[in-house]
């Protein structure tokens, strides 16, 4: 029998990382001669990777060109790489919940559209690496979510089976990724989702890590 696996998204699911992404976005926008964007705007730009975040920030503040994109993304990454956990922390209850799942023998991994190096550094800095057998971030040789491949690759690395895996995320991108990979999905609604997701029942949604809500959401699957 295959192992019981849970794969988590990172930004907006396990960690509140938007304040550091917001700071990096505004440093990069100022270098491009643009106005700042708000935290709420940046939250709405998260989910499809840093390239798309920068593209959306540029389009929200003026015209977009490929050249501007390249320079602004480079400025964004230069700042972000030095400030991945200045303002970022796990959501309340996350560490305790992961401890319980690990003690129960659940095998866990991360599948995120955040670039691989900062994703791994953030998990290390926040004391989360010890829970995960695989941390799969965005890489040039791998399609990004909602393509199913990063999630399927994460599950393979954990020696799991997609039908006995849960993917836990906070966005429509995560929901579509799970659907594309035929993996059961649970939504953390306390993250960065800014429009409702169709076709999810109340037992597939939880809004806090700090009480039994998450455990309830997992009932019957792990």
Ligand X SMILES: O=C(O)COP(=O)(O)O
Catalytic residues: 9
| Of residues 1-60, those binding Mg ion (CB under 5 A) | 9, 11-12
203 annotated as ligand-binding: no
Cβ nearer to ligand X, comparing 2 with 64: 64
Report the distance separating Cα 2 and Cα 142, nearest Å: 25
DSSP, residue by residue, 39-77: HHHHHHHTTS-HHHHHHHHHHHHS---HHHHHHHHHHHH
The verdict on 11 binding ligand X (CB under 6 A) reads yes
Burial class (CB in 10 A: 0-12, 13-18, 19+), 97: buried
Q: Where are the alpha helices (DSSP H) in the chain?
A: 18-31, 39-45, 50-61, 66-82, 94-103, 116-125, 149-157, 172-181, 213-218
Among 25, 37, 42, 53, binds ligand X (CB under 6 A): 53
The verdict on 47 binding ligand X (CB under 6 A) reads yes
Cβ nearer to ligand X, comparing 2 with 85: 85
The verdict on 170 binding Mg ion (CB under 5 A) reads yes
Binding mask 108-127 for ligand X (x = CB under 6 A): ----xxx-------------
Q: Which residues bind ligand X (CB under 6 A)?
A: 9-12, 46-50, 53, 112-114
Residue ranges for the known binding site for Mg(2+) are 9, 11, 170
Residue ranges for the known binding site are 9, 11, 170
């Amino acid at each position: 029998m295959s192992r019981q696996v849970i794969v988590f998204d990172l930004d907006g699911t396990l960690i509140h990382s938007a304040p550091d992404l917001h700071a990096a976005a505004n440093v990069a926008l100022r270098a491009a001669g643009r106005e700042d964007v708000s935290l709420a705007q940046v939250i709405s730009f998260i989910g499809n990777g840093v390239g798309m975040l920068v593209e959306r920030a540029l389009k929200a503040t003026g015209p977009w060109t490929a050249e501007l994109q390249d320079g602004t993304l480079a400025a964004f990454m230069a700042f972000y790489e030095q400030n991945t956990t200045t303002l970022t922390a796990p959501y309340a209850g996350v560490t305790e919940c992961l401890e319980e799942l690990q003690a129960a023998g659940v095998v866990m991994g991360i599948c995120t559209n955040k670039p691989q190096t900062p994703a791994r550094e953030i998990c290390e800095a926040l004391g989360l690496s010890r829970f995960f057998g695989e941390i799969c971030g965005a890489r040039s040789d791998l399609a990004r979510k909602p393509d199913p491949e990063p999630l399927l690759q994460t599950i393979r690395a954990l020696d799991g089976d997609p039908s006995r895996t849960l993917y836990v995320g906070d966005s429509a991108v995560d929901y579509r990724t799970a659907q594309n990979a035929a993996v059961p999905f649970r939504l953390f609604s306390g993250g960065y989702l800014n429009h409702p997701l169709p076709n999810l029942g109340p037992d597939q949604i939880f809004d806090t890590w700090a009480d039994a809500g998450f455990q309830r959401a997992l009932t019957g699957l792990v």
